[in-house]
Amino acid sequence: MTKRIAIFGSTGSIGTQALEVIESNPDKLSDEIQTAYTNENTLIEQALKFKPNMVVIADDNKYQKVKDALASTDVKVFAGEKSLEDVAALDVYDLMLAGIVGFAGLKPTLKAIELGKPVALANKETLVVAGDIVMQKAYENKVPVIPVDSEHSAIFQCLIGEGRNKIEKIVLTASGGPFLGKKPNFLVNVKRDHALQHPNWNMGAKISIDSATLMNKGLEMIEARWLFNLKPDQIQVIVHAQSIIHSMVQFDDGSIKAQMGLPDMKLPIQYALAFPQRIPNDFPRYDFRKPATLTFEEPDIKTFRNLVLATEALYKGGNLPCVLNAANEIAVYAFLKNRIGFLDMTELVEQTMNKITFISNPTLDQYFESDAEARNFAASLIQM
For range 351-355, the mean pLDDT: 98
For range 287-298, the mean pLDDT: 91
Please tell me the distance from the alpha carbon of residue 130 to that of residue 134, in angstroms, as a whole number: 6
Please tell me the distance from the alpha carbon of residue 24 to that of residue 358, in angstroms, as a whole number: 47
Angle, helices 106-114 vs 81-88, to 10°: value is: 20
pLDDT in tens, 196-252: 887 666 677 888 899 999 999 999 999 999 999 999 999 999 999 999 999 999 999
Q: Is 3.40.50.720 the CATH classification of the domain at 3-147?
A: yes
Please tell me the distance from the alpha carbon of residue 268 to that of residue 265, in angstroms, as a whole number: 6
Looking at the DSSP bridge assignments, the partners of residue 258 are 248
80-98 burial string, b = 16+ CB within 10 Å, else e? eeebbbebbebeebbbbbb
pLDDT in tens, 330-346: 999 999 999 999 999 99
The residue type at 63: Y
pLDDT of residue 292: 82
Q: What is the chain's mean pLDDT, rounded?
A: 94
pLDDT of residue 194: 84
Domain ranges of the chain: 3-147, 152-262+284-316
pLDDT of residue 195: 86
The residue type at 152: H
Burial group, residue 368, by CB count within 10 angstroms (0-12, 13-18, 19+): middle
% pLDDT > 90, the chain:
89
Is a pLDDT exceeding 60 seen at residue 384? no
Q: For 322-352, give the DSSP string.
A: HHHHHHHHHHHHHHHTTSS-TTHHHHHHHHH
Please tell me the distance from the alpha carbon of residue 287 to that of residue 265, in angstroms, as a whole number: 18
Burial group, residue 302, by CB count within 10 angstroms (0-12, 13-18, 19+): exposed
Please tell me the distance from the alpha carbon of residue 357 to that of residue 344, in angstroms, as a whole number: 22
User: pTM of the prediction?
Assistant: 0.93
pLDDT in tens, 56-66: 999 999 999 99
Cα distances (Å, whole numbers) of residue 109 to 16, 59, 116, 125, 206: 19, 19, 11, 11, 20
Which of 187-191, 243-247, 310-314 has the lowest average pLDDT? Answer: 187-191
For range 31-51, the mean pLDDT: 96
Pick the closest to residue 233 from 250, 254, 256, 210 (CA basis).
250
Is a pLDDT exceeding 80 seen at residue 186? yes
Is a pLDDT exceeding 80 seen at residue 9? yes
71: pLDDT confidence band, cut at 50, 70 and 90? very high
pLDDT of residue 201: 64
Is a pLDDT exceeding 60 seen at residue 43? yes
Q: What are phi and psi of 29, to 5 degrees?
A: -135, 145
Is a pLDDT exceeding 60 seen at residue 182? yes
